[in-house]
Every structure is written in structure tokens, then in C-alpha cells.
Structure 1
Amino acid sequence: MGWSGHGCARTHYHLPMTSFEHLLRVRYGETDQMGVAHHSSYILYMEEARTRLLAHLGSAYSELEQAGLALPVRRVEVRYRSALRFEDELLVRPRVSRLGGASVTFSYEMIRATDGELVANGLTELACVRLKPGGLVPVPLPEALHSLLESVS
């Protein structure tokens, strides 16, 4: 779809699309000295699930960038509930929780696959911008992208 018009990850798709899941495995390099997944890794897990969701919907980030657009994160939140360790499998469930004219907010549930325990909740807010020499210019989400995001909100 045009806009000018890790580890052993796999993605699961269930109907309806609001139940999209992305499965990741915690890698050794994502853990701290105590063997626990570093707090910054959760942001990467959310990003991976979000980009996989968008790709599945037919909206690859690379296509947006080729059209001169980007979706930079302007806000991120993570609420940690339980520790993940090396080689734990993690299900990340992203969904659109708010859709504006020029921004989108995704919420995430992160669940340990082996026992179903909720290990973290998260949120990312992204703004739509045009990539211009010398800076970023806020612009409305392309109509096609807005429609795709509506389908999973």
C-alpha cells in the first residue's frame, strides 16, 4: 500500500484484528546483571509489535518513509507488573486506543506466554509528520492509513 499513495519472533493473527498478538523471546542481551529483562527492552517489544501490526495491515514504515512521512513517538509509558527473564516468551497485544487527525495512540498488554501472567502495560503516542529538509512538519494522517487504524481501534 503506497502513501503517495528479533530473536525468534512470530506473529499470530486472530479475528477480529483487535486481538492481534506478536510473540517474542527475551534475548540474553536484553537482560540486566540480575538476569531480568531491562526496563528499556519493553519499549522495544512494544515497537516491534506495533510495526508488525502495521505491516500486517499493509502499512509498512518503509512505505511511509518513501512517501516522505514518519510516525515519531512523542510519548511512551510502561507500567511494569512482573519480571521477564532470559528466554521467556512474551505475547505483546497492541491495539489502537485513540485515533486523532494527525496522531495515533497505541496501548499494549504484555503477557508471559508460558503462564498467561500480565507482566506490563504500555502506551505509545505517535504523531504524523512530513520529513522536510531542516525539520519535521506535522501533517494529518493519510486517509488510507487513518482507515486502516480505525479498523483496529
Structure 2
Amino acid sequence: MEYIHNVQYYETDKMGITHHSNYIRWMEEARIDFLSQIGWDYAKLEEMGIISPVLSVTCDYKQSTTFPDSVHISVLVKEFKGVKLHLAYEMKNQDGGTVCKGTSSHAFLNREGRPIRMKDEKPELFEALSSLVSA
């Protein structure tokens, strides 16, 4: 699944290059869009009493972007066994060149902050994410 972000002028620095911190924001945008595309948007998760904090993020910058580039972001489920969700991101410019690769890891907690046993407590979400794990 792909998400497209158009670099905004305010996301660039004095040299006209996208500031590095924005790539992590774009990963979040792509993750939210990805979950929505598979039928599990954040509003639905929150209504179900699920919160999903970020446990870790990595970002490996390959080439810069500038205003008004289009950045195409693909999101893949790298690992999910019911406790932690590990996602991989690849960002490409409009010419198909890789500009950034990243990862993020997330937990699923209830409103009290305790881990959810996804397979037992939320089997539909467990199946949806498990079915998308890529090798």
C-alpha cells in the first residue's frame, strides 16, 4: 500500500532541503493511512479501547527531497506475533529513487496501559495484521 506526501515549503530548511525530522512524521502519516486502508483506522482502535504507542523508530536517509517533491511511501508489516507490530517504510521520489528507509515498532495496550493479548482479545485485528506480514 502506498501513501503520497507532497513536501511542503515549511518542511524545508534554509538551504531548501527537507529537514530530517519530517521523514518520521511522514512515516506516521503513512502508518495511519495504512491502518485506515486495511479497515483499522486509529479512531476505530481508540473506540475499541486500544492505544498503540511507538516503541522505536529508525530512519536511514538516502537522498534529499525539496519543495514541492512528491514522496511515495510504502508500508510493510515486517513482523507481528500479537504483542509488537514491526513496520518497514520505503520512501521514493517521483522519479522512483529511494530517499529514505525506516522502521517503527508499536505495542497494543488497553486504556490502563496494559498489553492486549491480541489473538484472544482482538482476533479480527490480529488476523488482519498477521495476514499482511511480508517475508
> Which of 130, 138, 147 is matched with 2:115 structurally?
138
Q: CA deviation at 1:140?
A: 2.3
Code of the aligned partner of 1:72: P
Code of the aligned partner of 1:146: F
Aligned to 2:34: 53
Q: What CA distance in whole angstroms lies between the structure 1 residues aligned with 2:117 and 2:27?
A: 23
Aligned to 2:109: 129
Return structure 1 stretches of 4+ with deviation > 2 angstroms: none
Unaligned runs of 5+ in 2: none
Greater strand proportion: 1
**Percent identical residues:** 34
TM-score (norm 2): 0.92
What's the RMSD between the two structures over aligned residues? 1.0
C-alpha deviations, 1:59-84, integer Å up to 9, x for none? 01111111211111110000001001
Code of the aligned partner of 1:110: M
Code of the aligned partner of 2:51: A
Unaligned runs of 5+ in 1: 1-19
* Kept in 1: contact 2:81–2:130 (CA 8 A): no
C-alpha deviations, 1:71-110, integer Å up to 9, x for none? 1111000000100111100000001001122110000110
Aligned to 2:56: 75
Code of the aligned partner of 2:117: P
Q: CA deviation at 1:151?
A: 2.6
Q: CA deviation at 1:112?
A: 0.3
> What is the count of residue pairs matched by the alignment?
130
- Give 3-state SS (helix, strand or coil) of 1:131's partner: coil
> Which of 18, 24, 36 is matched with 1:43 structurally?
24
